[in-house]
Amino acid sequence: MLIFVQATFLPLGSLLIGPLGATWIAAVGGLLTAVWRAPLAVFSLTFALIYGLLVDGVVSAFKVMAPSGKLRARRLIFGVTVATAIVGFASYYVTVYAIELLPRNPVLEITILVAGVISGLIGGYLATLIWSKALRHLVDATHW
């Protein structure tokens, strides 16, 4: 539920690596999680990839980088929040309704949605902080 660490690193990967950067990072995280939770490996990897693709998509669709090279922080935070909430709710829906791995629990549904939004907000905010304080200088130094 609290995946703010992923919500921090995925947008940074998208900003640093470029298109599909978040997807590559999510794939590595999904593979590591799949090894740790082997019985649910298919779900771990699938939802990790979906999360990475969504983050890459919102970074691109919301144009979080202005043509001047400045990060549009509010767009990034909003996009990461939306992507995190969508993936959290989708994974819950699949495990509860589609394959009936877990019983339905309305309190858990609300908790997942709220935790996803909070994690997305925290992760997006931390990503903007890290980008503006340190990582933008790396990109500036490599693009001379």
Residue 61: CB atoms within 10 A of its CB come to 10
Helices (H), the chain: 4-17, 21-36, 41-61, 73-93, 106-130, 136-142
Query: Where exactly are the structural domains of the chain?
Result: 4-139
**What confidence tens digit (pLDDT) does each residue in 21-59 have?**
999 999 999 999 889 888 888 988 999 999 999 999 999
Kindly report the pTM of this predicted structure.
0.87
